[in-house]
Chains A and B, each alone.
Chain A
Amino acid sequence: MSATLTQILEKGYARPEALVTTEWLAERLDDPSIRIVESNEDPLLYVQGHIRNAVEIDWVRDLNDPLRRDYLDAAGFQALLRRIGATSETIFVFYGDKNNWWATYAAWVFHLFGHTNVRIVDGGRLKWVKEGRELTKEVPTFAPTDYVAQPRNDERFRAYRDDVLRHLNAGNKLIDVRSPEEFNGTRLHMENYPNEGALRGGHIPGAKSVPWAKAVNPEDGTFLSADSLKALYEETAGLESTDDVVVYCRIGERSSHTWFVLRYLLGYENVRNYDGSWTEWGNSVGLPIEK
């Protein structure tokens, strides 16, 4: 067994195959079966330097519908994957800044199209850079493919407002990954960002507060061990691995990180991300709110 695989296995995750180390990736930069994808919050970082052979997927331009509040459709996903030279067999290896926040968001969107053959680089860009590994400005080009996208299927991994209402009324569990100030309703929106604000503050009744970044080691961006994650989500927030869980934040990006943690690192089968999140719930008429 390779040392890099052992590093992941030692952390005790339910689905360790979803995570790779920086060492693993460094040994496979030219592997044609994988496509390395960088997804960042900071739009300058990829251009400034990225892992060799990594393509960029931008969360705004590549994954969101430019007009409606929704993700790209099957035609858009197909065009994207053709452009980056992917096939249905391609293994996507995502990494990025901000503790892989945007990498997991991109991975979650890929799941909506049934492309679940994804990996996340433990520690993401931060760990790669801290280890002094090579970055390049050279943008790779891959021969376009004839990838055919499946229709988007939101049912399994995405929750809409009415799904959340039914979930709530059935007594199922929710995790709110926003900051404590947002959870408590003392902050309606981030200053100078009213587009992501809400008319009402608080949280969905019954939701437990577990800010998303608690799942990572801040010094290198790696995920906590399974035992530490269980302490966070199960002992503190009361989840059980058999639970039907909905996670949410403000627009569904931070919560995709927690979705990845629960689904892959702790092995929860039934986790959905409510991307309408607080910008929808806190602005909707008549929905229940708790403070």
Chain B
Amino acid sequence: MKPAKLQAVLEDLSVLERTERIEYLIALGEEYRNFSPEEVPRDATCRVPGCESEVYLGVSPLGEGLRLKFAVDNPQGISAMALATILDNSLSGEPLSQVSEISEDLIYDIFGRDLSMGKSMGLSGMVRMARDSARYGKPLAS
């Protein structure tokens, strides 16, 4: 079962046309605020594998689960910022049992199928790292 907030986001996106979806995602990306190195260390443990936008994940306890803090250091990484916002808003504090079952395929529900291989790798890497961090309670690169 997907976390309820994530399910709601995916349902919102499912009714949008491509242009509307892109504008929605850009708005989320522009809402994103980066984390400092004190909040999210820029080290190999926290780095999301396969993500060219240089994305790092830091976690801390929150609610029934974890706060997922994605640091995106590429100012042009608007897709990574949008996904970071979605994952933080919809998964932080949610039950670990639910977050640990999410599939990286949700990036296609969010961004559509027109993703290049490289872009797909990076974004799915963010989802996978969030999922695996929920499984093990700490940032864990797959």
A45 within 8 A of B: yes
Report whether B76 and A196 are in contact in the complex, using a CB–CB cutoff of 8 Å: no
Report whether B23 and A43 are in contact in the complex, using a CB–CB cutoff of 8 Å: no
Known: A58-B114, A192-B104, A196-B117. A44 touches B79 (CB 8 A): yes
Known: A47-B19, A47-B23. A41 touches B116 (CB 8 A): yes
Report whether A60 and B78 are in contact in the complex, using a CB–CB cutoff of 8 Å: no
Q: Which residue of B lies closest to A139 (CB)?
A: B19
A50 within 8 A of B: no
Mask: chain B, 61-98; 1 = CB below 8 Å from A; 0 = not: 00000000000000110110010000000000000000
Known: A190-B121, A192-B121, A193-B117. A43 touches B19 (CB 8 A): no
Q: Tell which of A42, A43, A44, A58 has the most Cβ of chain B within 10 Å.
A: A44
Report whether B76 and A41 are in contact in the complex, using a CB–CB cutoff of 8 Å: no
B121 contact from A43, A47, A191, Cβ within 8 A: A191
Interface residues of B in 43-58 (CB under 8 A from A): 50
Question: How near does chain A come to B17, taking the closest CB pair, in angstroms?
Answer: 13
A58 to B115 Cα, complex, angstroms: 11
Q: Within 8 Å CB of B139, what residues of A?
A: none
Mask: chain A, 21-47; 1 = CB below 8 Å from B; 0 = not: 000000000000000000001111101
Q: Which residue of B lies closest to A102 (CB)?
A: B116
Q: Within 8 Å CB of A196, what residues of B?
A: 117
B118 within 8 A of A: yes
B25 within 8 A of A: yes
Q: Tell which of B76, B120, B124 has the most Cβ of chain A within 10 Å.
A: B76
Total contacting residues, chain B, CB less than 8 A:
25
Mask: chain B, 13-31; 1 = CB below 8 Å from A; 0 = not: 0000001001101100110
Question: How near does chain A come to B110, taking the closest CB pair, in angstroms?
Answer: 11
B5 within 8 A of A: no
Mask: chain A, 167-195; 1 = CB below 8 Å from B; 0 = not: 00000000000000000000000111100
A189 to B25 Cα, complex, angstroms: 28
Report whether B76 and A43 are in contact in the complex, using a CB–CB cutoff of 8 Å: no
Report whether A45 and B25 are in contact in the complex, using a CB–CB cutoff of 8 Å: no
Known: A44-B29, A190-B121, A193-B120. A126 touches B76 (CB 8 A): yes
Known: A48-B26, A48-B29. A42 touches B79 (CB 8 A): yes
B119 within 8 A of A: yes
Q: Within 8 Å CB of B115, what residues of A?
A: 43
A59 to B112 Cα, complex, angstroms: 14
A227 to B124 Cα, complex, angstroms: 39
Report whether A43 and B117 are in contact in the complex, using a CB–CB cutoff of 8 Å: no
Known: A97-B76, A129-B76, A192-B104. A41 touches B118 (CB 8 A): yes
Question: How near does chain B come to A117, taking the closest CB pair, in angstroms?
Answer: 27
Given A42-B119, A47-B19, 6 more A-B residue pairs with CB atoms under 8 Å apart are A43-B111, A58-B114, A190-B118, A191-B50, A193-B117, A193-B121
Which A-B residue pairs are the 3 nearest by beta carbons? A60-B114, A193-B117, A44-B78
